[in-house]
Structure 1
């Protein structure tokens, strides 16, 4: 539930902020500043211990930072050009790209059921895109690029963990700090710094004040969404995670209709339904594969007298420990 709420807040408030002022890189920069600040707060309060930035480690994490910055950037830009209810369709190819890159880069083959789920998702994306008349083609392009970067992100994370001694917390800290450094010059290169300077004047500060408030909210919830996602995946079953994702997609569509007056067409509804259905099929297929692997694991059966003697010794030791 926490992951559902945080994700909905992130998308909705991001859209609200971008509708107020189209400053995607500035919004992203604000969110990263808040994330780094909150990580530092956890360090000063003794809750967590942050690592020191080392040059060699930072150099090894350049691919991760590049994917992260590009992914977050196009993700935000996609939200600038498309409606909230269409956002899920524009970024709907995450699953097919994930399966494709897993085969190309990791040599992980997929079952027919997984391929069927990918086909279902692609049909949902195609139906949703082709049924729209006034949809932004640039928004769709950003959505497809976002799907690619999201798919690559998980693979790059796995390869980057070795650079930080397999510490997830260290990787999170490096990722946020270095991404903040990388995004900062983009505000100037994109021309947003001039707009920010203008908005800081008395004449244009009213709209910028709303933008700052929205950025503060999304920054805090962006920090929490990682924790919420981790707790949801680690504490619940894949089926529960799948249901939460489906519910989030439906609520996000309804929220776009209610809060932003999005137009809900039959093609859009069918596209979202197929994307969610393909995702559900994929989750069920992978859960079925995992259960089959667990059942195929051989149960240890003592075959020799030596094995039996070891088991008897272990039982005797455990019994003596209990008596003590």
Structure 2
């Protein structure tokens, strides 16, 4: 009988652990960032500290011999400029969006990731989409529109940052796939380059944003207590920032886009619940409807892509007996020359 291709147990476990690691890290990262930003309105400084801690942790794993970090090369750094640019911009707008909106509304503000992903896949990769995929994008857009227009006190600036965040997130996955070739397809090398170069690129932004003066004023006002609070917030968000960064690269490189989309949908549901229970967010009817439509559109997209993959996968026939082999040879004989 024909053999049925399937993942080995170890591969299934790797996918499960990777997706679980990503979702847990992302949820903890959002909650820690929201807590830190509620206490300290210093988004660029906190991001800079996160990058610094991530680089320090990566170097520490190299020192222990757990992971091997690459030596920064100029040619590789130049090839990764698009990735670093999108990463810095994406981290910035993600954090600024979280400053202005509730944790539960964060899912809606960044709800246009799927439509932008389909648009960029067509514009940059030439990948056309089926009517079902386009229909899922329309449902997601309706969810975004419903969620945004139903809120009375929603921050327009937060929504703007959410839209930019959707664009950068859509581009990020595409750029990561293309950037892996520059580091010989090593996810760990790409994580190190990404964090080290983003740390350097983010340094001048602290001064350009005026946060350097705010940090000094904050320390002068409250003294050691302020320094303790800042250090604790930076350390916690830095550790989870490192984990979610590593988890994101692992998931994108180890799983399919469908798996990535499913985990994102599940994370959206958990994130909404987190905002309700941890931060006392108000879940209005319009907000809930918007979230349901966004997640429903994502589920329809996942189904559509799964059907496309099944349609494009041809079953492989493997002969199991000598009779099958003989019949297969007879069926594939070359025609005799006249």
Q: Choose from 62, 70, 83 the match for 2:81.
A: 62
Query: Alpha carbons of 1:243 and 1:102: their partners in 2 closer, same or farther (altered >3 Å)?
Result: closer
Alignment of 1:1-324 (within 5 A): 1-201=20-220, 203-229=222-248, 244-294=263-313, 296=314, 299=317, 304=329
How far apart are the structure 2 equivalents of 1:188 and 1:150?
26
Alpha-carbon distance in structure 2 between the residues aligned to 1:67 and 1:238: 19
Structure 2: gaps (5+ residues)? 1-19, 320-324, 334-338
TM-superposed deviation, 1:127:
0.3
Label 1:81 to 1:193 Cα distance change in 2 as closer, same or farther (>3 A).
same
1:287–1:208: structure 2 CA closer, same or farther, 3 Å change rule? farther
Q: Distance in 1 between matches of 2:116 and 2:176?
A: 16
When the two chains are superposed, the root-mean-square deviation of aligned CA atoms in Å is 2.5
Report the Cα offset of residue 134 of structure 1: 0.8
TM-score using structure 1 length: 0.86
Where structure 1 has 5 or more consecutive residues not aligned to the other structure, the ranges are 309-324
Paired with 1:270 and 1:236, the residues of 2 have a C-alpha distance of 30
Query: Contact 2:187–2:249 (CA<8 Å) still a contact in 1?
Result: no
1:159 offset after TM fit, Å?
Answer: 2.3
Q: CA deviation at 1:207?
A: 4.3
Aligned with 2:180: secondary structure? helix
CA distance in 2, matches of 1:51, 1:235: 21
Cα offset, 1:107, TM superposition: 0.3
For 2:98 and 2:70, how far apart are their aligned partners in 1?
33
| 1:93-128 Cα shifts (integer Å, max 9, x gaps) | 000000000001100011111111111111100000
Report the counterpart of residue 13 of structure 2 in structure 1. none
Query: Please, what TM-score do these two structures have when normalized by structure 2?
Result: 0.83
For this pair of structures, how many residues does the alignment match?
306
C-alpha distance in 2, partners of 1:173/1:235? 17
227 and 174 in structure 1: CA distance in 2 versus 1, 3 angstrom threshold: closer
